[in-house]
């Protein structure tokens, strides 16, 4: 969702207009208040493909597949609803931030606007992208899913680092698209606490277990536990917080280290602030497993299978991030150029050319529709 927030700011500043926002959210996911506040317009919700977790922690693959099959009629209804939104809003382009329903919509709908699919998952299969040898089956399933989400779309693959475009696959490489508020914050070089972000609140028990043996370490933990208060003080040095966008960013800028479950945006935001990372990817979550490998390979993080904060001693006091910030500065022109090239070729009724230039195009006002996926790490602007 943070990508959708940032993209809305980018396209509106360039003179375009966002005409609709649609969010794909699983049954157990609430749309965070910070997202609704940032969009400043009505948000329509549709059901989406969602992971099923065991003990609110581990991805349960058989249960996930069974749930997807059981909910197929709901997904058909979601595609119909998305078609109705597009007919009413009449956008020039659909920006899809890794929403599977939008990919299905693009696959089965012929008379529609062009789709620009934006996600770091489109790096899968890139020659420079890491593999996870122990998870060959999950990687094969994920590659199939990525193809589905990007079906009949132009793809913008978000990457922590520069990499070669893949024009034959209609895939261009772009820096992470970070929410606009992050650029206004100055990091504290003398942080005194560890900031923790959990995709699933089932990991809170591991935080508490380690904390009991090390109460001298100050921990601030953000999670999505349903019904929990905005802030829960476990004791003087451990506090749990419900997800809150601005508050989370402020505390990330002020912390010493970031520990999280290897979501792409969290890793990129921490690197922007120069905060070393301790990553514990969600079990059986292949996307997070590869994110963790990628961040470790470029020297940003150490990884583990549980929240053993003893590993923080292996991290440097600060990440060098000058080159990363220079790479991030190119996100805005690349996103706009890719969007405009997609629209221009569609309006000219031309097939996508593998040599189509996307950088250097002049921004021209238009309309966009936005639809993010309900996972905190993966929204979709349609």
Which fold is adopted by the domain 2-175+330-372?
Answer: Rossmann fold (3.40.50)
pLDDT at 103: 92
What's the burial of 228, exposed, middle or buried (CB within 10 Å: 0-12/13-18/19+)? middle
- The chain-wide mean pLDDT, for the chain, equals 85
Kindly state the average pLDDT of the residues 197-214.
Answer: 88
Whole-model pTM: value is: 0.85
Q: Do domains 2-175+330-372 and 181-323 have the same CATH topology?
A: yes
Q: What is the pLDDT of residue 368?
A: 55
CA dist., res. 345 & res. 96, Å (int)? 18
> Sorting pLDDT into bands at 50, 70 and 90, what band is 369?
low
Q: How confident is the model at residue 96 (pLDDT cuts 50, 70, 90)?
A: very high
Q: Is the CB of residue 214 less than 8 Å from the CB of residue 7?
A: no
Give the per-residue pLDDT at 224: 77
Q: 64: helix, coil or strand?
A: helix
pLDDT at 150 over 90: yes
* CATH of span 181-323: 3.40.50.2000
For the chain, what is the total number of helices (H) and then of strands (E)? 12, 16
CA distance 367 to 15: 9
Kindly tell me if the per-residue pLDDT of 310 is higher than 70.
Answer: yes
Angle between helices 136-149 and 286-297 (to 10 degrees): 100
pLDDT at 161 over 70: yes
- pLDDT on residue 324: 96
Q: Please list the residues that pair with 44 across neighbouring strands.
A: 22
Note the pLDDT of residue 208.
Answer: 93
Does position 119 have pLDDT exceeding 70, yes or no?
A: yes
**Torsion over CA: 276, 244, 10, 342 (sign):** positive
Domain ranges in the chain?
A: 2-175+330-372, 181-323
Q: How many CA atoms are closer than 13 Å to the CA of 302, on its beta-carbon side? A: 13
pLDDT of residue 32: 78
pLDDT, residue 329, reads: 93
Provide the token pair at 327: 């790479």
Q: Are 266 and 377 in contact (CB under 8 A)?
A: yes
Q: Return the closest-CA partner of residue 278 out of 299, 244, 251, 304.
A: 304
């Amino acid at each position: 969702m943070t990508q959708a927030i940032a993209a809305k700011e980018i396209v509106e500043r360039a003179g375009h207009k966002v005409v609709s926002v649609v969010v794909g959210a699983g049954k157990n996911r609430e749309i965070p208040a910070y997202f609704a506040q940032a969009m400043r317009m009505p948000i329509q919700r549709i059901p989406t493909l969602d992971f099923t977790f065991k003990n609110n922690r581990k991805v349960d693959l058989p249960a996930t597949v069974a749930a997807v099959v059981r909910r197929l009629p709901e997904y058909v209804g979601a595609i119909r609803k998305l078609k109705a939104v597009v007919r009413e809003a009449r956008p020039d382009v659909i920006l899809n931030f890794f929403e599977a329903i939008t990919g299905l919509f693009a696959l089965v709908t012929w008379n529609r606007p062009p789709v620009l699919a934006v996600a770091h998952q489109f790096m899968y299969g890139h020659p420079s992208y890491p593999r996870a040898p122990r998870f060959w089956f999950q990687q094969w399933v994920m590659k199939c899913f990525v193809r589905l989400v990007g079906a009949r779309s132009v793809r913008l693959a978000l990457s922590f680092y520069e990499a070669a475009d893949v024009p034959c696959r209609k895939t261009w490489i772009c820096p992470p698209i970070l929410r606009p508020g992050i650029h206004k914050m100055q990091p504290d070089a003398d942080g005194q606490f560890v900031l923790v972000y959990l995709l699933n609140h089932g990991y809170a028990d591991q935080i508490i277990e380690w904390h009991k043996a090390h109460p001298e370490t100050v921990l601030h933990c953000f999670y999505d536990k349903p019904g929990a208060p905005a802030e829960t003080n476990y004791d003087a040095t451990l506090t749990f917080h419900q997800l809150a966008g601005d508050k989370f960013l402020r505390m990330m800028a002020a912390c010493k280290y970031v520990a999280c479950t290897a979501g792409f945006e969290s890793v990129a935001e921490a690197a922007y602030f120069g905060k070393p990372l301790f990553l514990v990817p969600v079990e059986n979550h292949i996307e997070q497993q590869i994110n963790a490998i990628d961040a470790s390979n470029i020297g940003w993080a150490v990884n583990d299978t549980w929240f053993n904060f003893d590993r923080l001693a292996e991290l440097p006091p600060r990440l060098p991030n000058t080159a990363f910030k220079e790479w991030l500065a190119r996100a805005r022109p690349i996103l706009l150029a890719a969007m405009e090239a997609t629209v221009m070729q569609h309006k000219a009724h031309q097939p996508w050319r593998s040599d189509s230039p996307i950088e250097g195009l002049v921004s021209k006002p238009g309309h966009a529709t936005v639809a993010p996926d309900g996972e905190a790490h993966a929204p979709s602007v349609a």
